[in-house]
């Protein structure tokens, strides 16, 4: 009988800080999306949010038609207040990154309203992707 252990992750519902997952898979963060400073985008998020959120690069989130994809997950407090993960697509300009930073600095999902402009970037992943990622 094999014994598996489940790794604790910072994106679980009890995470004390928001988690910002930046897709860097097959399309996001690659030359397939030209004229975007992908490394600069991730660096700006880490530099600005490193003290208040977990910022991580993740493998393909299987939403390539929305590249570049960023998922903002609430902190434990934000989840208790009703916050849920927010998927943002086509995050291909510095202004969108700045809006994400401002929102997370204000508390993120459940604790602060996202800047209205981020409504243009919000999308819902397919049911298949949602099922693979687990409950939101």
Q: Note the pLDDT of residue 135.
A: 56
Mean pLDDT of 35-64: 96
Full residue range of the structural domain in which residue 49 is found: 19-115+122-133
Instruction: Provide the domain count of the chain.
Output: 1
Residues 57-96 have pLDDT tens digits of: 999 999 999 999 999 999 999 999 999 999 999 999 999 9
Asked whether residue 43 carries a pLDDT value surpassing 80, the answer given is: yes
Element (H, E) at 72: strand 70-73
Q: In terms of pLDDT, which residue wins out, 2 or 94?
A: 94
Q: Note the pLDDT of residue 129.
A: 76
Asked whether residue 5 carries a pLDDT value surpassing 50, the answer given is: no
CATH value at residue 44? 3.40.30
Torsion sign over Cα 89, 95, 101, 107: negative
- Of the candidates 121, 127, 26, the one whose C-alpha atom is nearest the C-alpha of residue 66 is 121
In a domain, 14, yes or no: no
Q: What is the pTM of this model?
A: 0.85
Q: Note the pLDDT of residue 133.
A: 62
Q: Note the pLDDT of residue 128.
A: 81
């Amino acid at each position: 009988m094999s014994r598996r252990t489940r790794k604790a992750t910072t994106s679980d519902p009890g995470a004390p800080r928001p988690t910002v997952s930046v897709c860097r898979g097959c399309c996001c963060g690659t030359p397939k999306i030209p004229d975007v400073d992908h490394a600069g985008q991730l660096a700006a998020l880490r530099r600005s949010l490193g003290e208040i959120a977990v910022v991580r690069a993740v493998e393909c989130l299987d939403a390539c038609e929305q590249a570049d994809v960023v998922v903002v997950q609430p902190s434990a407090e934000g989840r208790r207040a009703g916050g849920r993960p927010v998927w943002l697509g086509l995050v291909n300009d510095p202004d969108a990154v700045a809006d994400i930073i401002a929102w997370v600095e204000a508390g993120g999902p459940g604790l602060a309203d996202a800047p209205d402009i981020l409504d243009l970037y919000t999308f819902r992943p397919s049911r298949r992707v949602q099922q693979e990622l687990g409950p939101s």
